[in-house]
Structure 1
Amino acid sequence: MERQSTYTATATIDEQGILTSWSEGARRLLGHEPSAVVGRPATALLAAEGAEAARRALAGRDRWNGSVALRHLDGRRLEVGLLAHRRTADDGVTDWLVVTAVATGPRAPEGWALEEWAFNQSPFVLSVFDTDRCLVRANRRMERALSLPEAVMRGLRLPHIAPGVGGEEADAKLREVLDSGEPQEVEARLAPELGRPVVLAPLKDAAGRVRAVCLAAHQRSEDAAAHQRMRLLSDAGTRIGTTADLGRTAQELAEVTVPRLADFAAVDLLDSPRIADEVSAEAATGPVVLRRAAVRAVADGDAPASGTEPGETTTYQADSPPAQCLASGRPVLYETTDPAVARWAALDPSADWLRAYGTHSLMVVPLLAQGNTLGVALFGRHQREEPFGPDDLRLAEELTGRAAAHIHKARGYARARTTTMALQRSLLPHTLPNQAALEIATRYLPAATRAGVGGDWFDVIPLSGARVALVVGDVVGHGLRATATMGRLRTAVRTLADVDLPADELLTHLDDLVLHLAQDEGSTDPAAETAGGIGTTCLYAVYDPVAGRCSIARAGHPPPAVVTPDGAVRFLDVPAGPPLGLGGLPFEAVDTELPEGSLLALYTDGLLEARDHDIDEALDKMFAALARPATTLDAVCDRVLTELLSHRPEDDIALLVARTRVLHADRVAAWELASDPTVVSTARRYADQQLTLWGLEDAAFVTELMVSELVTNAIRYGRPPIQLRLIHQDSTLTCEVFDSSSTTPHMRRARIFDEGGRGLLLVAQLAERWGTRHDRVGKTVWAEQSLSGG
């Protein structure tokens, strides 16, 4: 009988993921010479991003098998079935032996049905090895004894299937059988599930030539089954719940149980967890609707479809086994000849898989966690002859309970993350304010980690005199605490900015606030980490389009990058300052000129801390992305994120990009005034003439009243020099009066016979908004009126 021709490819990988050996078969399979791959990371041979998935799959395990996409030297993508064993040498050094058998010829015919039945249904463990000592057939007991499907073992030698002393001894005895034609016995144990001795018998043709060798052994029944259950539970501990995704957790439960416990598994979840009494009442009175989260069946070329696919809904009638299981909250074991199962299979489309697979044994297990019912898991057997037993039901209940705990936790995490993100979205700016000083674009990317959303934020705050404040901050930590602290700090920054504090003074007040918050939280929760936002970083910048200057201070935050109109990119040299909450240390503001058309980039440190590149590489990429010309600032933001991020970030990212504009002399007028009451009429005349030049005659009456009151107050209560300035933006007109006194004006209630006290009240009534800002020397009283109203 013609057999399938194969060769074996092997490699070894150390615990750091570095290839340490490369066989001739491996070179033949992928085309790489040993010198080109040994010493390099094994992940370099993967055809897709899968390093993290590979680490998760191997974590805590001694053996793994599955299909992996590899890249051939010529660029081809190859799907290869691999078997990997963890080996520990006498000196304690651990590595992985990775093997695969590669078919190069046609597979052998299946043979007569009677022979197939005898081979597959034998009460003994049976397998057949060819003259190259490679496995060509293995019956189902052999598959179960080694917990490996025949497809994985086919073409491999015993040392590759069962590494260790037993495999080496059996391979040596197998060679003796081929040479001598006499049976041999192996006393060493090939696997815990195999009894001893293992018998190796020659298979001869009519001429007496040895054409193959048959391996036969008893399966250790009592302790083998217990060992299999313990091994399955051990594997489940590392393979179930590797992510916070409930769909993935459900699929991991199905993958762990098929084929080692069942031939078919499906996990159906309620849309939201419910207490047992609610589910019991619903299942007892009517149909229950669940959503399929996972399904898996033993691979078979002629296998039918599994029915409901993940993501689709399934409706179980009240008298169906799944609904009854949900109502009782207890696992149930059925034979498919049971009237309840037979009726369900005959009438309910959700049971089509029972008929399609020819299932003869069924387990239905509820998913329960912390008093909540999450759904139901279905397990069926159709390939292996023995039905489920009580031990199988207890094992399925334990495995399902583990998965339910992780699913419940994942749902809680998802709810908390949704709540945190909703809170954060409500606290971040929904729209950017109208202002003429800067063209602005922003981006915010939440972290994709279990820790949850962080406290990064940005803000754009219009100030008096056509100026605009830009803020970017990063609160330490993740979750609701960080998000709530971010909301407090953003509100505080807006309040402090509204009184026109210089950048360094604003950060000093913000530092005091963080200290107070930490003290308040520390008194109620002494163990709270980063209480009140201690360690938070912040950058505050004020851009003045009249002067073309920007004042910047930062508290432990990354420096801003600037791109000048000539294309040069650099960091602004702003002293770092300490993070907020340390107290007592000064902040320093820096003033810098920004030519019109300069690009200013503010960001949080998550942008530069991606795990797949170092900080220098990230800076180079950011500078290159910022310097490249773009039609819009949105395109600049997208380009920066695309260049720096290859996956969802591990930390939140806030990015703010602004292009400077300048209000030229045709939009600003200023006059120096003498400290003499007679100059008030002159100031009114200057204002009236300027409004005529701007075509704003309709605003002249209100502006003259404001100018009169503000200049009069500066002469009466301030000190020279005195300056009047008018700023015309698209829809607003601002009147400012400067004097060198630091005394802040206040509105007061004028008595009936008082001659004064009504000036600022009049200004407040006429202006959209008004206020006072203090400079290093002196103050400016300003009033802003809208030009868009009637």
Structure 2
Amino acid sequence: MRFKRRARFPGDAGAPSSARRFVRAALTEAGLDELAGDAVLLVSELCENAVLHAGTGFAVDVAADGVELTLSVTDQGSTPMELRRSVPPAPGTRRASHGRGLVLVDGIAAAWGSRHDSDGHHVWFTLRATAPAPVTPAPVASPEWVWPDPDTARWLLHLPAPPSPLPVLVTELLRRLCDVLDASGGAVVLADDTGEDLLATYGEKAGDDVVTVPLPLEPPRSGRLAVYTGVADAAELAALTAQRVTLAVEADKQHSADREQWLWMSYLAEATEMFGNSLDVRLTAAIVPQVLVPRLGRWCALHLLDDRGRLRLEALTHVREDELNELRLELAPLTEADGALTTLLAERTQAAGLGSPLDAVAVPLRVGGRAIGTVSVGRPVDRVHRPEELLILTELARRAAQSLDNAQRDSAHAATSQALQQALLPRALPTAEGVRFAAAYLPVSAGADVGGDFYDVLALSPGRWLTVVGDVCGKGPRAAARTGLVRDVLRVLLRDGQPLDRTFELLNEMMLEAGDPSQFATVALALITRQDTTPVSLAVELVLAGHEQPALVHGDGTVSYLGTHGSAVGLVRRFAVHPTRHVLMAGDTLVFYTDGVTEHRRGVDLFGPDRLADALRRASPRTADGVITAVRQAVDDFSPEPHRDDIAIVAVQVPSQA
């Protein structure tokens, strides 16, 4: 008569314990207590797998027929368990770490298998009871050892969840194995192409008896577990422990690989951030070798192509500063190294080795297929670069090339902008009897954007001068083009003899024709005429087209603001300006400026016209250059904050002693 029992269990941590009690009770009822130990151990492993891998509830079926017992565990998981891959994975790849519980099933059961159907995933095994064997008296000297009960076997292989360093974990496994086998000690050894390494040891060797089992590691790594015991059947339990040790070793290897990859990625991210921190070519070039040494080699040299297409050593560093001069000579033009680097760029290869005495690897710096230089890195001491180091070096070279190219482009753009800015300013100020001119232009930065502030001082005829200070809205090429338009139109119209109000009306019409009201301008213009008086005086015809009033510093130190405000040019069609006339006497200084002076900030406070007047009073009496210096100093002393706008200042002075 066939005996059958079935029970279902939830997918929680207590289910395996309940399943063990169910199986033990069922076997007692079936009269197969002799199979209870093995059956409970194997069912426990299958139930653990169902809870851990499937994460679902499971059912346990018990079927007995005489001396044969078949147990089945069914879960609803979709992923089959495996004993071991039939084909070892490639070195360096992840290896499956699940399915180790089936090693017990494979080693103990008379038969086992698994299948998937509509009911779920079934794993079954069969145990057979045997007739009692003839009793043979055991030798008195042989120790008696029996397979441990399931709870002891679980204690042997299951360690607490918190991770521990590999040697600590393996030592604990070895200690537990020695406790179960009553062994005096043991050792675990790992080996690879470089030799052997003692991973863990416990106790000591008390005699000549030793049981040794291999660790099933992936080539080229290997290992062995040795336990000092004379128990004949200890190899089976040692093999199970070796499987558990192998899992720990493989997990540690993967963890180390993941950590190393994370460190490389962090290094790449930090290096990229440092490369992009500056748009200065020299600073960026100096950073590159500092980032690569000593992480990737003993020294690093950065070469960039010059305007003639020749490599120029731009930056060099070495872990030993006393070897820098010798290294610099080895990398000088027309040397063997210079020829190798030139060939590297010409042949468009990915990398090239530099032989003795340099012992280095060189990588080209390319952006969009265009070469801009090379980076060479000396090999680490006593070894060549590892493959992963070469990959990182190549990637760093790509990122450095991008940053260097950006810096070079920005430098070229800045040089062009500065040249354009200088072209919009007068080359030199006029010099004449009875009048002194001084000027200063302070761009908010020396970068790539052309500022909108400008000034001009032009001799129209003997004894007659044009002085202009203006501010075009915006920055960059459009502002530069509008600045050039304003400057040239004013020059042409006034040289042609147009009245001031008509000159500004024509300028306003021309700017409106451009159809861009955002590019308006404010202008302060003065026609200065020397008068034949004793002492010399200057007649000033002043127009303010939306601009700040110029400050007049009298010879006695008092300050007043001149002119009447009119419309900004290029903003509205209903345009009006109001020319005013003034006279500068001996010792007087007329100071024109842009709003970068009065709108310089200290928090929410502005420098303003009152502080400007105070600075001018303190500056009197000074030369025209001295007055401008005093204004600049007062603005800088007012606030440490960086300037937000360009500054243009022009001073026209009648000397006290004409």
TM superposition score category, shorter chain reference: 0.5 to 0.7
The correspondence for 1:290, drawn from 285, 295, 311, is 311
* Gapped regions of structure 2 (runs ≥ 5): 1-159, 171-199, 201-248, 532-536
Is 1:653 aligned with 2:647?
Answer: yes
**8 Å contact from structure 1 (residues 482, 533) kept in 2:** no
Is 1:377 aligned with 2:375?
Answer: yes
- How many Å separate the matches in 1 of 2:161 and 2:303? 47
**Equivalent position of 2:279 in the other structure:** 244
**Equivalent position of 1:256 in the other structure:** 291
**Equivalent position of 2:523 in the other structure:** 538
**Equivalent position of 1:640 in the other structure:** 631
Alignment of 1:268-283 (within 5 A): 268-272=303-307
User: SS of the residue aligned with 1:448?
Assistant: coil
Give the CA deviation at 1:434.
4.8
The 1:532/1:249 distance shift into structure 2, 3 A limit, reads: farther
Give the CA deviation at 1:551.
3.2
Q: Deviations over 1:146-168 (max 9, x none)?
A: xxxxxxxxxxxxxxxxxxxxxxx
**Equivalent position of 1:491 in the other structure:** 488
User: SS of the residue aligned with 2:261?
Assistant: helix
* Gapped regions of structure 1 (runs ≥ 5): 1-184, 200-215, 275-288, 335-339, 346-353, 355-359, 520-530, 665-790
**8 Å contact from structure 1 (residues 321, 364) kept in 2:** no
Moved more, 616-625 or 559-568: 616-625
AA aligned opposite 1:305: L
**8 Å contact from structure 2 (residues 584, 654) kept in 1:** yes
Give the CA deviation at 1:660.
3.4
**Equivalent position of 2:155 in the other structure:** none
Give the CA deviation at 1:564.
1.4
Give the CA deviation at 1:442.
1.6
**8 Å contact from structure 2 (residues 553, 620) kept in 1:** no
Q: Deviations over 1:668-716 (max 9, x none)?
A: xxxxxxxxxxxxxxxxxxxxxxxxxxxxxxxxxxxxxxxxxxxxxxxxx
**8 Å contact from structure 1 (residues 290, 315) kept in 2:** no
- How many Å separate the matches in 2 of 1:309 and 1:608? 52
**Equivalent position of 2:403 in the other structure:** 406
Give the CA deviation at 1:598.
1.4
- How many Å separate the matches in 1 of 2:506 and 2:283? 47
**Equivalent position of 2:219 in the other structure:** none
- How many Å separate the matches in 1 of 2:166 and 2:610? 63
Q: TM-score normalized by structure 1?
A: 0.45
User: SS of the residue aligned with 1:454?
Assistant: coil
**Equivalent position of 2:551 in the other structure:** 561
The correspondence for 1:425, drawn from 422, 432, 435, is 422
User: SS of the residue aligned with 1:537?
Assistant: strand
- How many Å separate the matches in 2 of 1:608 and 1:416? 30
Give the CA deviation at 1:377.
0.8
**Equivalent position of 1:515 in the other structure:** 512
Give the CA deviation at 1:448.
2.6
Moved more, 248-257 or 461-470: 461-470
User: SS of the residue aligned with 2:649?
Assistant: strand
Give the CA deviation at 1:364.
0.9
Identical residues among aligned pairs (%) = 29
- How many Å separate the matches in 2 of 1:478 and 1:196? 66
**Equivalent position of 1:768 in the other structure:** none
Give the CA deviation at 1:471.
0.3
Q: Which has the larger radius of gyration?
A: 2
Give the CA deviation at 1:538.
1.6
AA aligned opposite 1:407: L
- How many Å separate the matches in 1 of 2:575 and 2:588? 32
Q: Deviations over 1:54-89 (max 9, x none)?
A: xxxxxxxxxxxxxxxxxxxxxxxxxxxxxxxxxxxx
Give the CA deviation at 1:610.
5.7
**Equivalent position of 1:229 in the other structure:** 264
Alignment of 1:176-215 (within 5 A): 187=162
**Equivalent position of 2:154 in the other structure:** none
Give the CA deviation at 1:233.
2.3
Give the CA deviation at 1:501.
3.9
Give the CA deviation at 1:380.
2.5
Alignment of 1:52-67 (within 5 A): none
Give the CA deviation at 1:513.
1.4
Give the CA deviation at 1:625.
4.6
**Equivalent position of 1:457 in the other structure:** 454
The 1:411/1:425 distance shift into structure 2, 3 A limit, reads: same
The 1:333/1:291 distance shift into structure 2, 3 A limit, reads: closer
Q: TM-score normalized by structure 2?
A: 0.53
**Equivalent position of 2:364 in the other structure:** 366
Give the CA deviation at 1:365.
1.2
The 1:466/1:197 distance shift into structure 2, 3 A limit, reads: farther
AA aligned opposite 2:304: L
- How many Å separate the matches in 2 of 1:609 and 1:255? 42
User: SS of the residue aligned with 2:453?
Assistant: strand
The 1:480/1:617 distance shift into structure 2, 3 A limit, reads: closer
Equivalenced residues, count:
409
**8 Å contact from structure 1 (residues 539, 552) kept in 2:** yes
Q: Deviations over 1:326-359 (max 9, x none)?
A: 222333264xxxxx512xx2xxxxxxxx4xxxxx
Give the CA deviation at 1:565.
1.2
Is 1:552 aligned with 2:571?
Answer: no
Alignment of 1:22-171 (within 5 A): none
Moved more, 415-424 or 220-229: 415-424
The correspondence for 2:348, drawn from 324, 329, 349, is 329
Give the CA deviation at 1:494.
0.7
**8 Å contact from structure 1 (residues 188, 197) kept in 2:** no
Give the CA deviation at 1:649.
6.0
**Equivalent position of 1:341 in the other structure:** 355
Give the CA deviation at 1:319.
7.3
**8 Å contact from structure 2 (residues 281, 411) kept in 1:** no
User: SS of the residue aligned with 2:488?
Assistant: helix
- How many Å separate the matches in 1 of 2:608 and 2:294? 46
**8 Å contact from structure 2 (residues 517, 570) kept in 1:** no
- How many Å separate the matches in 1 of 2:555 and 2:166? 81
**Equivalent position of 1:598 in the other structure:** 588
